[in-house]
Amino acid sequence: MKTLLMIGTLMLTLNSFAQSSIEATSATTLSPFATATRLMETALVSSLAPFGSTIATVQRRGVAGKEQLKDELVSLNDDMLSGKVKTIDQVRQPALRELLLEIEADEAQLTSINSVITEGSKLHRIATAVTVSLLAN
Amino acid sequence: MLRWFALPVFIFCLRSQAAVIEINGPFFLKEVLSETLQLLPSNYLDSINGKIRIESAALKSDQFLSSDDLCRVNTDVTYGFTKKNLIVISSRLIELASDQERVFSCGHKSFRNLLKAVMVHELTHVKDNQEKISSDPDFQRIMGIKRVTRNTRASVMNQNLTSSPDPYEFQNLQESLAVNAEYLVLDPEFECRKPATANYLSRKLGIPLKGQCEKNHHVIVQSAFMEDNYQLPVSINPARIYQIHYLFAGKGKALMSRWGHAMFRLIVCAPFRKVAGPECLDDVSYHLALSYRASITDLNINYLKGATGEYPSQLFVLRYLEVQQEYTKFELRDLFSVPLKMTKFQKSEFLDLTLERYWTYQGKYYFLDNNCGTETLKHLQFALSSSEENLISSLTPLRIFSDILKHNEVLADENLQGLSREQMIEKRFLAPSMFSEIYASYHFLQNYIPDFKEKSLESFIEKTNASDRLRVYESLLSNISSLNMIEQKQLAIKLSHFERYLAGRFLMELPKKAMQQMDKDPELKAEVLEMGQGLKLLSLQPWQVVRSRYGVPLKPEFESSFDSFSQTRESKVNASIEAQMNNLQKILGKNYFKKELTEIEGLKKIKLLTLDFINQTRHYFNPKEDL
């Protein structure tokens, strides 16, 4: 366990560069990535405010939970590109599906997201917000 | 010293129970015995043949009973003993109980209560001699023994003195029974502090629970990541848990992973769910993994220590998703999750034992015969009926898994028989190793990068380095305009996915390399050991985070203790991370790690290149077209 703990800590401490790499690179794997990066680049501070609760929702998952979300974004992207997945109900990645459903059920959170991301389906808009949140932390 | 001889001594008999009790001692002894017998069920001594004799006598260790402070009494003091049907009680204790009315904060809180406890303790021994309760397999499983045995003198493995009401309970199974019976009878908080033991003994001894305390169902989630360790309190109240799964990680490469790893998964429902139902299966970020592991504080695993029980065996409570990452990604192992068929009562028993284990248990881990498999099995068998427990006879994680599948209709809550791998994934009984996803990214890249010749991903990883990959990526991206937009975007996705995995894997290997080198260089060893010191926060035990009188902390104890822990936690975590960064920089500055530093530089450049690539491809994004 200790070795595992050490590895975990090393990953936390040493990979300050890798973390940012992870965040940025995994986010590109999502179709909504471009929307997310555009938002981040054009109006960084003001555009993050509406994602406050989404960031908190993502943050609650802990380090490993966020890593799992990033991993699942890769296959979700494949599913979206192939046209297999068009709605949240169809998402087959468990951690992402849970998160997307949780955000979908939260009206206030959804309204905040819709105020910033105006294009694309509900899946696209929420997935973009998740991407922004993963980029932000 | 003379005073207790002045107490009037009587010989008389009590017949409040089926058994006849003959007392040879002061009248006060009879008085306290009468009170004690009233606390026991009327049939408590029904099984005893013949008379029980109780005598007072000066015992050798009475000399250590000079203090009249209950909390300062030497723990080696003998208050009484039993020989067949004869119970002998320390006359010094009787004197103290008779004279002292003070209430203390420790143990049984007063000498009078202690005297009652000694009576319960010794009467329970007499009962146990007849009924062999301490050899009952379920009792042994609660107490934590290496293997279920008929030998009631077998030692108990739990050595966590901090969380015990009286460490004498660890002497052997007989003493465990007697000590816990004392507290069940006399301490109204016992049923909340040791719920599994209390429920079991209440049924076995016929002593009703008092219902005077409020059980605290909280555990604090542990983590290999410092920032998440002991950050999140979670209730494992049975009402909030839909199912309990047997969680099995397929075999790994390490010596101790060849039989797989056995765990449990608690399907904890998200707080917004009104009832615990099948929807809770979707709440994966709330699910917990229960994992018996060796608690290793050495920097390197010492196999000899592992073989001789020198590492503590403990129940860790982790987020399920962290365990999934650990096995499916970092170790590329399959993770099976089999819902267990349990009644409401069995689920409650299982969770009570979980609470008790988490807050009080620190056994001994033996790689061969008291490991994750045997500990998990004992935990599970405690909750199963005897006919069910007999269906699982194997001790290795893989065989336990096979036995559960084999007796699917009795032990599992879903039908898993005959399911293909794909069906198991689809029905979420299997979180597959991420190998195929990583390999898919590698394979995709092979179509564009002729230098990626290795068929096997493993051999590619062994041979590759960041500088070489950087060179081929630069060459690839300089000719990217020949690809269409979709292809370019896919390439960016797969490239970043693959590089993210390689960077993570490289970082995981670093500590191993540092440890391999440290014996050759005392200075390096000092740096590595210092870094180990900085990790102390990760080695905290639950009972160090939340202090309780003993056992599972009660709600007020939990709230005040965890609040004060949380207040200082963040600053300690930050300080620890900063200290480790400094240590790490010193370690990587050594000559041995030139290659590793070059690799890090290469990885940084790949990161910049990947980001640049991403920025190029994002211009081609069109959500309407994509969706």
| Least confident range of A58-62, B12-16, B393-397 | B12-16
Query: What contacts B495, CB < 8 A, 6 or more positions away?
Result: B441, B445, B473, B610, B613
How many angstroms away from the CA of B263 is the closest CA of chain A?
14
The predicted structure's pLDDT at residue A2: 39
pLDDT tops 60 at residue B132: yes
The predicted structure's pLDDT at residue A137: 58
Contacts of A77 in chain B (CB under 8 A): 493
- Cα distance between residue B572 and residue B536, in whole Å: 10
Highest mean pLDDT among A19-28, B191-200, B364-373, B571-580: B191-200
pLDDT tops 60 at residue A30: no
Q: Which residues pair with B54 in a beta bridge?
A: B23, B87
Positive or negative torsion for Cα B39, B42, B48, B54: positive
State percent of chain B over pLDDT 70. 93
Contacts of A80 in chain B (CB under 8 A): 626-627
What torsion, rounded to 10 degrees, do the Cα atoms B4, B7, B10, B12 define? -80
**DSSP-assigned states of every residue in chain A:** -HHHHHHHHHHHHHTHHHHHHHHHHHHHTSTTHHHHHHHHHHSHHHHHGGGHHHHHHHHTTHHHHHHHHHHHHHHHHHHHHTTS--SGGG---HHHHHHHHHHHT-HHHHHHHHHH--SS-HHHHHHHHHHHHHHH-
| Least confident range of A13-27, B241-255, B451-465 | A13-27
A123 and chain B: CB distance < 8 Å anywhere?
yes
Reported ipTM:
0.85
pLDDT digits (tens, 9 = 90+) for B327-348: 999 889 999 999 999 999 999 9
pLDDT tops 60 at residue B313: yes
How many angstroms away from the CA of A20 is the closest CA of chain B?
9
- Cα distance between residue B25 and residue B35, in whole Å: 16
The predicted structure's pLDDT at residue B594: 85
Strand B21-26 and strand B52-57: pairing? parallel
The predicted structure's pLDDT at residue B617: 62
pLDDT digits (tens, 9 = 90+) for B595-622: 888 998 899 899 888 877 866 665 433 4
State percent of chain B over pLDDT 90. 61
The predicted structure's pLDDT at residue B14: 58
3-state secondary structure of B9: strand
The predicted structure's pLDDT at residue B618: 52
pLDDT digits (tens, 9 = 90+) for B258-299: 789 999 999 999 999 999 999 999 999 999 999 999 887 766
pLDDT tops 70 at residue B13: no
B282 and chain A: CB distance < 8 Å anywhere?
yes
A60 and chain B: CB distance < 8 Å anywhere?
yes
Read off the pLDDT band of B11 (50, 70, 90).
low
Highest mean pLDDT among B19-28, B203-212, B385-394, B566-575: B203-212
pLDDT tops 50 at residue A7: no
Residue with tokens 């799964």: B245
3-state secondary structure of B68: coil
- Cα distance between residue A63 and residue A58, in whole Å: 10
The predicted structure's pLDDT at residue A47: 56
| Partner residue facing A1 (CB), from B295, B299, B300 | B295
Mutate to test the interface with A, among B280, B618, B620 (most CBs of A within 10 A): B618
- Cα distance between residue B174 and residue B131, in whole Å: 12
**B231 to A5: CB separation less than 8 angstroms, yes or no:** no
Mean predicted lDDT score pLDDT of chain A: 71
**A1 to B296: CB separation less than 8 angstroms, yes or no:** yes
Mean pLDDT of B175-192: 97
What torsion, rounded to 10 degrees, do the Cα atoms A85, A88, A92, A96 define? 120
Read off the pLDDT band of A46 (50, 70, 90).
low
Q: What are phi and psi of B53, to 5 degrees?
A: -105, 135
Count CB atoms within 10 A of the CB of residue B415: 10
**DSSP-assigned states of every residue in B266-291:** EEEPPTT-SS-SGGGGG-GGG-EEEE
B298 and chain A: CB distance < 8 Å anywhere?
yes
How far apart, in Å, are the Cα atoms of B395 and each of B366, B376, B382, B400? 13, 9, 15, 6
pLDDT digits (tens, 9 = 90+) for B32-60: 999 999 999 999 999 998 899 999 999 98
The predicted structure's pLDDT at residue B521: 82
The chain B residue lying nearest A18, using CA atoms, is: B503
Query: What contacts B260, CB < 8 A, 6 or more positions away?
Result: B248, B249, B250, B251, B252, B396, B397, B398, B401
Strand B86-90 and strand B52-57: pairing? parallel
B42-101 residues touching A, CB cutoff 8 A: none
Tokens of B377: 């099995």
pLDDT tops 80 at residue A33: no
Mean pLDDT of B61-87: 84
**DSSP-assigned states of every residue in A81-95:** HTTS--SGGG---HH
| Least confident range of B78-87, B339-348, B528-537 | B528-537
pLDDT digits (tens, 9 = 90+) for B394-433: 889 999 999 999 999 999 999 998 899 999 999 999 999 9
pLDDT tops 80 at residue A42: no
Count how many pairs of residues, chain A against chain B, have C-beta atoms within 8 Å: 215
Highest mean pLDDT among B66-75, B329-338, B520-529: B329-338
Tokens of B594: 């030139």
| Partner residue facing A94 (CB), from B284, B492, B619 | B284
Mean pLDDT of B479-500: 84
Read off the pLDDT band of B1 (50, 70, 90).
very low
Read off the pLDDT band of A5 (50, 70, 90).
very low
Mean pLDDT of B449-475: 94
**A13 to B282: CB separation less than 8 angstroms, yes or no:** no
pLDDT tops 50 at residue A18: no
The predicted structure's pLDDT at residue B620: 38
User: Exposed/middle/buried for B76, CB within 10 Å: 0-12, 13-18, 19+?
Assistant: exposed
pLDDT digits (tens, 9 = 90+) for B544-554: 999 999 999 99
| Partner residue facing A18 (CB), from B296, B507, B584 | B507
Read off the pLDDT band of B301 (50, 70, 90).
confident
- Cα distance between residue A117 and residue A111, in whole Å: 10
User: Exposed/middle/buried for B463, CB within 10 Å: 0-12, 13-18, 19+?
Assistant: exposed
A62 and chain B: CB distance < 8 Å anywhere?
yes
Mean predicted lDDT score pLDDT of chain B: 88
**Between B508 and A107, where is the model more confident?**
A107
Tokens of B503: 């960077």
**B297 to A81: CB separation less than 8 angstroms, yes or no:** no
Contacts of A124 in chain B (CB under 8 A): 623, 626-627
The predicted structure's pLDDT at residue A4: 40
Q: Which DSSP letter does residue B293 get?
A: E
Mean pLDDT of A115-122: 85
Contacts of B294 in chain A (CB under 8 A): 1
- Cα distance between residue B576 and residue A83, in whole Å: 47
| Partner residue facing A121 (CB), from B301, B325, B627 | B627
The predicted structure's pLDDT at residue A44: 43
